[in-house]
């Protein structure tokens, strides 16, 4: 087997210690092995990076162990060393022979022969922005959970407003709920209905519940928490949008794609970066995002096409964008309508997300804004299946017989 790197280091990463093994091939072809153990503090990581630099290491291999690899990678990056973070699933050691030293040596051996691939590690600015965007998602999830809890509490008190309005968190419904919490009578709350389509007598009946003092207490606490989370969310959104200045060209291009607004474009850009040429093709980019069909074939039989696990944040964002894009008057709506009947909503959404992620690749690599192709999926579906449908109608007697004049 061909040796690709003659001076390699493997690091078995833990929280408070890191075991490092160097494999260095001399001019005579002999391989020298050195193993050292370092602590997890900053001074220890600096010493680790300095030792590797003094040994003129060409490549450092480390596992993506939780979040512990991040500080190690940052110190190696600062020292100017080439480091690959590899998927732990791809480098599992032989069972029964697992030690920290053996793991670090195994990583070095794999790197020496080029048997591993480094994961995509974005630049430091995007790595730090990922912390902000993912925290923003957590805040949004908390906000949705608190709104749902408020909805349940109203139902528990016999307030059936959620059964009459499309969005209980809309402007009019929110004003009515605030009035309930503040103790206003239902007759006055009807005046806040605004443009709600529900009949006024039905609205009045829905507000006739049994709100106790404890219901009011919890609703007041939930309302205060919802307002607090909305303020936090607004602040994080403003920060993310402001941080897009270095990537303004890509940020503006992404906003031309149906289903993406400013916040969605910013969060996707933070995850994928603005340099997609590293993926090589749209297929590999979709595979990295785990939005393409999976491959599971044995003995010439395709067993499953289930999508594999990938970047869960990218998948979530693209499926969210797909849900929005299917409501626009674009090719994505036509494709969704053609798929949902046969595949169901969830699989159709993943297919739309797959199309979106491929579109993003071409937009950013060609630096072109989105232009809708106007392809008619419904007409293409009819053209493909019409002969089969006609044969089925004739076979089962649904085709009208020709009558003589």
Q: What is the per-residue pLDDT across 296-355, written as a single tens digit (0 to 9) for each? A: 667 777 777 777 777 888 999 999 999 999 998 888 988 898 889 888 999 999 999 999
Instruction: Give the rounded distance of the alpha carbon of 13 from its chain centre.
Output: 26
In whole numbers, what is the pLDDT of the chain averaged over residues? 88
Distance CA 360, CA 405 (A): 60
Percent of the chain with pLDDT over 90: 50
Render pLDDT for 244-293 as a digit per residue (tens, 0 to 9): 999 999 999 999 999 999 999 999 999 999 999 888 899 989 988 888 87
282 in Cβ contact with 384 (< 8 Å): no
Altogether, the residues listed in the chain come to a count of 405
pLDDT beyond 70 at 222: yes
Distance CA 293, CA 310 (A): 12
Max distance between CA atoms of the chain, in angstroms, equals 100
Q: What is the dihedral of CA 258, 234, 367, 377, to 10 degrees?
A: -10
pLDDT beyond 60 at 405: no
DSSP 119-161: PP---HHHHHHHHHHHHHHHHHHHHHHHHHHHHHHHHHTT--G
Q: Which one-letter DSSP state was computed for residue 91? A: G
Distance CA 16, CA 20 (A): 13
Distance CA 247, CA 256 (A): 15
Stronger pLDDT, 374 or 69, i.e. the higher one: 69
108 in Cβ contact with 23 (< 8 Å): yes
pTM of the model: 0.82
Q: What does the pLDDT read at residue 90? A: 74
pLDDT beyond 60 at 86: yes
Distance CA 84, CA 69 (A): 11
**Which residues in 264-404 belong to E strands, given as ranges?**
296-298, 301-304
Q: What does the pLDDT read at residue 60? A: 94
Instruction: Report the candidate in 65, 56, 45 with the shortest Cα–Cα distance to residue 119.
Output: 65
52 in Cβ contact with 8 (< 8 Å): no
Q: What does the pLDDT read at residue 170? A: 84
Q: What does the pLDDT read at residue 102? A: 83
Q: Across residues 114-127, what is the average pLDDT?
A: 89
Parallel/antiparallel/unpaired status of strands 17-25 and 31-39 = antiparallel
Q: Across residues 130-155, what is the average pLDDT?
A: 94
Q: Which residues sit opposite 38 in a β-bridge?
A: 18
Q: What does the pLDDT read at residue 183? A: 87
Distance CA 321, CA 316 (A): 9
Instruction: Report the candidate in 65, 13, 17 with the shortest Cα–Cα distance to residue 39.
Output: 17
When mean pLDDT is compared across 61-65, 164-168, 304-308, 383-387, the lowest value belongs to 304-308
Q: Which residue has the tokens 């997609």?
A: 276
Q: Across residues 382-402, what is the average pLDDT?
A: 82
Distance CA 110, CA 266 (A): 37
Stronger pLDDT, 138 or 202, i.e. the higher one: 138
Q: What does the pLDDT read at residue 45? A: 94
Render pLDDT for 346-374 as a digit per residue (tens, 0 to 9): 999 999 999 999 999 999 999 999 988 77
Parallel/antiparallel/unpaired status of strands 296-298 and 301-304 = antiparallel
Q: How confident is the model at residue 95 (pLDDT cuts 50, 70, 90)?
A: low
Q: How confident is the model at residue 404 (pLDDT cuts 50, 70, 90)?
A: low
**Which residues in 282-391 belong to E strands, given as ranges?**
296-298, 301-304
Q: What does the pLDDT read at residue 229? A: 96
Local structure of 25: helix, strand or coil: strand
Helices 312-325, 345-366: axis angle to 10 degrees equals 100
Q: What does the pLDDT read at residue 81? A: 93
Distance CA 126, CA 253 (A): 18
Q: How confident is the model at residue 403 (pLDDT cuts 50, 70, 90)?
A: low
Residues 6+ apart with CB under 8 A from 334: 375, 376, 377, 378
Q: Which one-letter DSSP state was computed for residue 94? A: P
84 in Cβ contact with 116 (< 8 Å): yes
165 in Cβ contact with 192 (< 8 Å): no
When mean pLDDT is compared across 3-7, 138-142, 219-223, the lowest value belongs to 3-7
CATH 3.20.20.70, domain 7-112, yes or no: no
């Amino acid at each position: 087997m061909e040796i690709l790197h003659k001076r390699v280091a493997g690091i078995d990463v833990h929280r408070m210690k890191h075991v490092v093994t160097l494999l260095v091939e001399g001019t005579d072809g002999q391989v020298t092995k050195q193993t050292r153990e370092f602590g997890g503090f900053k001074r220890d990581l600096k010493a680790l990076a300095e030792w590797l630099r003094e040994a003129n290491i060409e490549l450092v291999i480390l596992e993506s162990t939780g979040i512990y690899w991040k500080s190690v990678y940052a110190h190696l990056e600062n020292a100017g060393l080439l480091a690959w973070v590899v998927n732990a699933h791809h480098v599992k050691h032989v069972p029964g022979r697992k030690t920290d030293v053996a793991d670090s040596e195994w990583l070095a051996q794999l790197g020496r022969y080029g048997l591993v691939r480094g994961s995509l590690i974005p630049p430091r600015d995007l790595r730090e922005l990922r912390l902000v965007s993912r925290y923003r998602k957590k805040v949004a999830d908390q906000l949705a959970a608190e709104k749902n809890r408020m909805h349940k509490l109203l139902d528990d008190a016999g307030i059936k407003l959620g059964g009459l309005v499309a969005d209980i968190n809309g402007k009019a419904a929110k004003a009515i709920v605030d009035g309930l919490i503040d103790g206003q009578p239902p007759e006055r709350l009807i005046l806040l209905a605004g443009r709600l389509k529900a009949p006024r007598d039905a609205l009045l009946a829905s507000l006739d519940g049994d709100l106790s003092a404890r219901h009011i207490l919890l609703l007041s606490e939930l309302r205060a928490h919802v307002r607090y989370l909305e303020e936090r969310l607004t602040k994080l959104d403003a920060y993310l949008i402001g941080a897009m200045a270095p990537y303004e060209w890509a940020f503006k291009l992404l906003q031309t794609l149906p289903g993406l607004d400013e916040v969605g474009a910013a969060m996707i850009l933070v995850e994928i970066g603005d340099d997609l040429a590293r993926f090589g093709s749209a297929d590999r980019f979709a595979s990295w995002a785990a939005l393409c069909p999976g491959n599971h074939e044995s003995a010439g039989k395709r067993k499953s096409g289930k999508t594999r696990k990938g970047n869960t944040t990218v998948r979530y964002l693209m499926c969210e964008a797909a849900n929005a894009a299917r409501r626009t008057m674009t090719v994505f709506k036509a494709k969704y309508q053609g798929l949902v009947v046969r595949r169901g909503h969830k699989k159709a959404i993943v297919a739309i997300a797959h199309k979106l992620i491929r579109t993003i690749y071409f937009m950013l690599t060609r630096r072109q804004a989105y232009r809708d192709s106007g392809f008619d999926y419904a007409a293409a579906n009819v053209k493909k299946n019409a002969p089969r449908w006609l044969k089925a109608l004739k076979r089962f007697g649904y085709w009208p017989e020709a009558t003589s004049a």
